Every structure is written in structure tokens, then in C-alpha cells.
Amino acid sequence: MSEEFFIQGNEACAKGAITAGCRFFAGYPITPSTEVAETLARDLPKVGGSFVQMEDEIGSAGAIIGGSWGGAKSMTATSGPGISLMQENIGYAFMTETPIVIVDVQRGSPSTAQPTMAAQGDMMQARWGSHGDYEPIALSPSSVQEFFDFTIRAFNLSEEYRVPVFVMADEVIGHMREKIVVSDDIEIVARKRPESSDNYLPFENIENGTTPMPAFGDGFNIHVTGLTHDERGYPDTNDPETHDKLIQRICDKILNNKDKICSVQSKNCEDADVVIVSYGAPVRSVVEAVNKTDKKVGYIKIDTPWPFPDEQIKQLCKNASDVLVVEMNLGQMYYEVERVLKDSNVHLLGKIGGLLPTPDEILDEIDKIGGN
Amino acid sequence: MSQEKQNRFIPYLREDRLPHIFCPGCGNGAIINAFLAAMQKAQMDFDNIAMVSGIGCSSRIPGYLKCDSLHTTHGRALSFATGLKTANKDLDVVVFTGDGDAASIGGNHLIHAARRNINLTVICINNNIYGMTGGQISPTSPKGSFGSTAPYGNQDTPFKLAELVAAAGASYSARWTTVQIENLVTSIKDGLKNPGFSFIEVATQCPTYFGRKNKLRTPTAMAAVMKANTVFKSAADRMKPKDLEGKIVVGEFANHTRDEFTENIDKISVEKSGKKTLINSAYESEL
């Protein structure tokens, strides 16, 4: 039996987290994400979980990494200013291969800008926000249902690959109310504990790149550091080979599994003259625009902006003469599409100010491009 | 040949990580020794101890001890420790930090962890200087002392950490120095046993940087000055502020019982779910 709820996006995110097994949340109030924290403050104690309101976002990111090593699936939720503050500790989580989920309900930016208006200005922070080389996973929901589903998938991916996963929502999805259907048959990925401490290496260079992870207190006596470390976790900061192997593995464990991680949805791309590429809330207008027009227009909805679905984009755009990227910034994922489709005409409809691009605005842009 | 006597604390060390990185004359060795002695006196189960640290010389200590250890980002150890302790309330969580780590970049986390009275034991090794980056002044550098970023003498007034943490709400706060090891051991033992936020500041010598920049080149010279400047709190309470300038006041600044953060979380969990908060739930596929 499945259940139906009519709820707000941020509440659906919190519900998804609890369904996925999240039992620790640390956060700091920030519009427009606060209802995620408020819902979990109310609901986590009902399922044996812990909620902590931290002193700031830096502390929130630190606390969830500590919580994860303490054996709890852990999450925080924030918006642009908060995600900026969290970046150093997010980099630490990549370096120490700590599974955490970071929800970013994006708002107008930079700085404090537009707290109650939607934007997609943090997409590159999710990709490159911390210093150094690493490969993040990010999911972008376009509906309240997807905010629920993608939060669960974020936990599953973070456990499977021992990696921080971003859920890149926005103010529209966070604050809108829609019906969601919760099935009673949802796949949950539990953390894998190493079988024995004999010869166990917490950061082993194994084939698929991801080693099982014990909790603190399990008796493995492991050392976890953000310094470059060997397979035991011991600092080894001056050997170029140790660093190269570690960082390559941290990147490759994601890149080599792109076929399992990347996800897009598409319509009418095969014989389209113009393919629209979008993600998150603007997809809602894109779908309407495509349904409304008689022109040969298709669309690709990117579920997973990171790692970027190069192959899917290439494949679905191969017959199009023009590609239009629709996003709520002045061009972020646009440059990724341009990178992948080197020889195509890639156009941008980048709208800032806080309002969704409308279907008519999208169709006007198609007219300008000259789609048939 | 007589058999070499092994130090009784060797079993607690990651011997495969030796030699350590600490300079000759550093106080960290004496403080590790004091911690392990206190841990035994408190009859703690070493296997149940998890350590967290930030960045700096003092924060390297957990890496040499054979327990679960989280060597985190600069200043943030207490936030990681807050998450770790909250996620698993059965662990005994110990934090090693320094004056730069805890009182400068991590000052906000320090006062809030104390305010929550979360059950952590924090050993703050105060050498009055940034050692790992080469001798810059810290928030506890005495007024007028020299550092590589204070070539004309430090103009800032230092924090009094043990007093600050007591005022922020910690149920245990104390200060000792590396020349009062017995008091230090007793204090760490009391801190470990206190079911709340315990802060033990240890004034220590850094001959390599503080000493070299302040005409105290040897550890013994530094220890002698530290000893001469020490005033017990009971005596200090009767002294005028002017007479306490440049002195190191040692003793307890807080030692009382009050409600503890993670116990409060457990109470709410019991009220709302009928059970204490779950431990190691990440490993379960059904909850």
C-alpha cells in the first residue's frame, strides 16, 4: 500500500530523510530552507533520532560529519550564504570519504540578496565550492515528489560511495505544496561495516574505490584526517604518489560509476530541431512550453547535475540543430552543455530576479533561435 | 644487560606512527602522559574513548593514540565532537585542541559547546603562540610578548580561557601548567568523570617559537618562569587585579553539576518514541 500526502517541498525533503534512515540532523536557520530543520526538529525524536541547532553553518557541517562517523546517517539543510560557510568542512568530508547529505534550497544570490525568491546560483558551489579536486554528486528536484525521492536517493548514493551528496533544490520547490505518493517499497541502502579489523584498511585502494566504513566505537581504532593519508588513514603529506593515488581514487570512484549515478529524463529529442536542457524548478515551464508548441522541440531534464551526464546529453542532442539551456542564473550549467556539445549551437535563457521563466518566455526564445 | 623497562603507556600508542613530530622540549609529551595517567585513574575503558582534534601541534596528539580519532579542520573540532557524541551517546569523547584552534578560529564553537554543557572532555594546550605555522601571536599571547606577527610586541589583551569557558556555562573548567603534573592529572581525571562539558587548560612551554622570540630559549627556562608566575586560585581570589598582571592563575573555575545536552536529547526521544536515541542506525536497512 502506498500513502498520499499533500505537503510542502521542504517537509517532503524532511520526510524523505527520515524514510532514508537519517537519524541525525544539525543545522542553522536560513530562509528558504528552514522548514526542513523545523520538520526534523519535530519528527526526529519520534523515531529515535537527534536534532541539533548549531551555532552556525560551519558547525552544522562539522557536526554532521561527526554524526556520520558516530554511526548515524546525517544531514544538514541550508541556502546560499550557508553553503558558502560550509565549504571547508564539505571538502573535509570528500577527503575523508564521509557520507553526508547537504540540502541547498537555493535563493537569489550572491550574498544575502533575495532570501524568499528562487534561484539556481549555487550549482558551481556544489561542483567546485571547496578547494581542490574531488567529484561530487548532486541531484536537482523539479517537484515536491522529487524532493522526497531525491533526498532518499541522496542518502543511498552517499552510503554506496562514501561521499557527500548535494540535493540542489530552490525556493520554488522548497515552498510549494503538491501531492506526493510514498510507496511502501522504497529501496534503502544501509551502510556496510567491514567484516573484521584484521588487515582492515579504511582508505584502501580497492578496485571499485569504496571501502566499507566502521563507526567510531566499533573497535577498529581508525584515524581519520583531512591531511593526505595512506590506506591506513595515517598522514603522509610529502609523498607525491600517496596524494595522487588518494585523490585519483576519490574522483574515479564517482567517474567510473557515472552510468549508475547519472540520470536524465527526456521527451521528443530524437527528431527535435531544438532541444531544451534544464533542471530543477524551471523544468516545469519547459515541459509546458514543449507541450504547447507545434514546433519540433524536445527537452532534457537533468536529475543529476553532478556528475554531469555528458553521454546522455550528447546522445539526446545529436540530431538537434540548436540547444537551449534554461536555468535561473546567468549561465552555470550552460557552460557544461557547451563543453559537451562542442560543435552545436548552444543558447542560454538565464533568468534571475527570483521568478520562474514562463513557458511563453521559453517559446519566445525558441522563436529567436529560429526553430521550425 | 637488564631488560629495558617499557613505559606503561606504550600499549595506548600507535607505535607504527613514531617518531612523532613534536619539537624537543615541547610540553605535549608530558600532557599525553598526564592524560593517560588520568584516564587510568578515572578507570575509563580506553577502547570506548574517541578523540577529536582540530589543527595545530596539540591537535596532532590523537593521531598517536590507538583509539578512534578524528583530526578535523581548524577550529571546528568541537562541532565535529558535538555531532559524534550526539550520534553515539555511549562514547567517551575527548577533544585535544590549542589556544589558536579553540580560542581564535574556534571561539564560537567553544562557548556554545560550554553553553550546551555537552559531555565532552576538552584538553586545551595553551602555548600562547601558533607553533605549527611558525610563531605568530595567538589570542592568549601575553600583552607585550613577541611573535613573528608582533615584531614590536603584542598590543592585544589575551583571553583567560578557563574563566571564559566557566562563564559560558561549562560544568567543569580548570587551568594548570606542565609544571604541576600531579594537579593536572587529578584535574583531567575529574574532567573525564564529570558528566558535562569539561575544559582543562594546560599552560605549556613552546621553546621553539614562544621561547625563542621571548628570550626563553630552553624548556627549563620556560618552566622556571611558568612556575614563578603561578598563583593558586584561592590566593588569587584575595589579590588585586594589578598584582595579578602577568600571573598564571591555576585551579578550578567551575565544578558543579547541571543538566547535560545529550541526556536532554535522550529524554525527548524517550518521551516521543518510547526509547533512547538509536545507536549505529546507519547500518540498518530497516528502522
Which three cell numbers mark A358? 514562463
Tell me the pLDDT tens digit for each residue of B135-169: 999 999 999 999 999 999 999 999 999 999 999 99
Which three cell numbers mark B198? 569539561
Residue of A nearest to B105 (CA): A58
Asked if the Cβ–Cβ distance from B76 to A54 is below 8 Å, we say no
Contacts of B87 in chain A (CB under 8 A): 23-24, 50, 66-72, 74
> What's the mean per-residue pLDDT of chain B?
97
Q: How far is A19 from chain B (nearest CA, A)?
A: 9
- Exposure of B147 in the CB half-sphere (CA atoms within 13 A): 25
Which three cell numbers mark B218? 630552553
Q: Which helix (H) or strand (E) holds A302?
A: strand A297-302
Asked if the Cβ–Cβ distance from A21 to B282 is below 8 Å, we say yes
Tell me the pLDDT tens digit for each residue of B84-139: 999 999 999 999 999 999 999 999 999 999 999 999 999 999 999 999 999 999 99
Tell me the pLDDT tens digit for each residue of A2-50: 999 999 999 999 999 999 999 999 999 999 999 999 999 999 999 999 9
How many CB atoms lie under 10 A from the CB of residue B242? Answer: 6
pLDDT in tens, chain A (372 residues): 899 999 999 999 999 999 999 999 999 999 999 999 999 999 999 999 999 999 999 999 999 999 999 999 999 999 999 999 999 999 999 999 999 999 999 999 999 999 999 999 999 999 999 999 999 999 999 999 999 999 999 999 999 999 999 999 999 999 999 999 999 999 999 999 999 989 999 999 998 889 999 999 999 999 999 999 999 999 999 999 999 999 999 999 999 999 999 999 999 999 999 999 999 999 999 999 999 999 999 999 999 999 999 999 999 999 999 999 999 999 999 999 999 999 889 999 999 999 999 999 999 999 999 766
Asked if the Cβ–Cβ distance from A66 to B87 is below 8 Å, we say yes
Asked if the Cβ–Cβ distance from B281 to A48 is below 8 Å, we say yes
As to burial, measured by CB atoms within 10 angstroms (0-12 exposed, 13-18 middle, 19+ buried), residue B209 is: buried
Asked if the Cβ–Cβ distance from A191 to B283 is below 8 Å, we say yes
Full DSSP string of A208-248: TS----PPTTSS---EEESS-B-TTS-B--S-HHHHHHHHH
User: What distance in Å separates the CA atoms of residue B40 and residue B114, rounded to the nearest whole number?
Assistant: 25
Chain Cα centroid distance, residue A67: 20
Spatial contact of A69 and A224, defined as CB atoms under 8 Å apart:
yes
Mutation test of the interface with chain A: which of B53, B64, B70, choosing the one with the most A Cβ atoms within 10 A?
B70
Mutation test of the interface with chain B: which of A18, A19, A22, A24, choosing the one with the most B Cβ atoms within 10 A?
A24
Contacts of A101 in chain B (CB under 8 A): none
Chain Cα centroid distance, residue B101: 10
State the complex-level ipTM.
Answer: 0.97
Asked if the Cβ–Cβ distance from B282 to A219 is below 8 Å, we say no
- The C-alpha angle with vertex A121 and arms to B105 and A58, in degrees rounded to 5, equals 20
Across the interface, which of A51, A219, A226 has its CB nearest the CB of B71?
A: A226
Predicted local distance difference test score (pLDDT) of residue A372: 60
pLDDT in tens, chain B (287 residues): 456 788 899 999 999 999 999 999 999 999 999 999 999 999 999 999 999 999 999 999 999 999 999 999 999 999 999 999 999 999 999 999 999 999 999 999 999 999 999 999 999 999 999 999 999 999 999 999 999 999 999 999 999 999 999 999 999 999 999 999 999 999 999 999 999 999 999 999 999 999 999 999 999 999 999 999 999 999 999 999 999 999 999 999 999 999 999 999 999 999 999 999 999 999 999 88
Q: How far is B155 from chain A (nearest CA, A)?
A: 30
Predicted local distance difference test score (pLDDT) of residue B3: 64
Contacts of A222 in chain B (CB under 8 A): 68-69
